Each structure stands twice: as C-alpha cells, then as structure tokens.
Amino acid sequence: MAKESGLGFTAAIDDAGGTVRTISNDITGLTWQMPSAEQDITGLTSSARERLLLLADFTFTLTGVFNAASNQSHDVFKAVNLTSVTRTCTLTHSLQILETECLFNDYAIARGGDGSLIWTAPGELNETVVPAWTT
C-alpha cells in the first residue's frame, strides 16, 4: 500500500439510544492512541531493559463544528453527561476499519472570539476486547 493523506476519513458513533450516526462531515479533527501498559522485568544480570506488554487501552478525541440538525453531532453527544452508555465507534480510512466500544466522558462546546462554535468529545475504551484495525 502506498503512502496516503488523511483525506476521505469517516467516523460513525452511536448516539445515546444505540443508533449508528455517521457524523464525519461535522468532525474537523481526531486523534487516537492505542497504548499498552508495560512491566519492567529487567533482572540483575541484564545490561539493557526488558519489558512485557500488559493491558491494552484506546483513547481518542474528536473535535468538530457544532451542528444541531437531527441525527448529527449535537444529537450524538448532547446526553454524554446524563448517560453512562457504551457507544460503538467506527473509524474508517482506505478500507481499514477500527471499531471499538467507548465511553465518552465529556462533550465540551466553545465559542471562539471570532464567533466560531466548536465541540470536543473525548472517548475511552470500555470493553475487554483489544481494538485492532481490520480490512
């Protein structure tokens, strides 16, 4: 596969009722991390570090433009502070799919000095399955 840009990304997130909503057009940026904890197992006889990978995790943050239209980003996130609902989050790019179950812990909306209205929604892994890209 050749090197690619981030153009053509799609994101689908369940709303609080469990209905999948593709809100890619409202999202202006996203970041995600897939770290694993580590245990240092270096013995006294070693002259370099030895480590074991432990529990995997997944966190991500979406940012976007406020859209109060039906079934768009505001509908998806407006109940984050009222419900503790695990939501299926699906990121797709170039036939690569990353699907995981996440719990969103915030939905922050900010009005800029220029009049812009943007939101941020961070999510964290909320299941026992390690997220992995599939094709």
Written in H, E and C, the secondary structure of 64-92 is EECCCCCCCHHHHHCCCCCCCCEEEEEEE
What's the rounded mean pLDDT across residues 44-55? 95
Which residues, 6 or more positions from 101, have their beta carbon under 8 angstroms from its beta carbon? Answer: 86, 87, 88, 89, 125, 126, 127, 129
pTM score > 0.75 for this model? yes
- CA dihedral (18, 118, 6, 38) positive or negative: negative
pLDDT over 90 percentage in the chain: 83
Chain Cα centroid distance, residue 111: 23
Question: Which pLDDT score is estimated for 1?
Answer: 60
CA Rg, the chain, in Å? 18
* Mean pLDDT score of the chain: 93
Question: Which pLDDT score is estimated for 128?
Answer: 82
Question: Which pLDDT score is estimated for 50?
Answer: 96
Q: Whole-angstrom Cα distance, residue 6 to residue 121?
A: 20
pLDDT (tens digit per residue) in 67-126? 999 999 999 999 998 888 899 999 999 999 999 999 999 999 999 999 999 999 999 999
Q: Whole-angstrom Cα distance, residue 75 to residue 53?
A: 38
